[in-house]
Amino acid sequence: MTPIDIQKIKKELEEKRKELLTFLNSPQASEKGNQDNYELAQHYQISEQKNSLNSHNQKLLAQIEDALGKIENGTYGVCDHCGKPIDPDRLKILPYASYCMECLNKFPSKLVYSSSNEER
C-alpha cells in the first residue's frame, strides 16, 4: 500500500472511532416509574438490544484502535497469524482486518470466534 492509501484508511478509521465513541457515550434512556408489565418487557428488550449493540461497538472500537496503532508502528496490513501482507482490496473493505483470507479460511473458528483473536 502506498502512504496515501494508508493515510486515507487512517482518516476513515479515525472518523469511525469518533462515531463509535459518540454512540457509546450517548446517555441511556431514563427509566420511568409506574410501568406496567408490557412496558417493562419492552424496556428490557430494548435494553438488551442496546447492550448487545454496545458490546459489538466496543469490540469494533478495540479493532479500530488496534489498526490505528499498527499504522503508527508500521505493521498495518500484516496478518496477525501468518505475518504475510493482507490483500489491499480486503483492507479497503475492512480497514481493521487483522487476518488475511488464507488464515481465515484455514482456521475460521479459531480466529473468528476466539475471544482473544477475533476477526474484528
The residue extents of the domains of the chain are 3-23+40-113
Phi, psi of 78, deg, nearest 5: -115, 130
Domain 3-23+40-113 sits in CATH at 1.20.120.910
Distance of alpha carbon 18 from its chain centroid, rounded?
Answer: 12
In the numeric block, which cell numbers belong to residue 36?
406496567
The pLDDT tens digits for 8-53 are 999 999 999 999 888 888 765 545 556 677 777 777 777 777 777 8
Number of alpha carbons in the 13 Å side-chain half-sphere of residue 8:
9
Other beta carbons less than 10 A from residue 117's beta carbon: 15
Q: What pTM value is reported for the model? A: 0.67
What local confidence, expressed as pLDDT, does residue 34 receive? 62
C-alpha cell, 54: 454496545
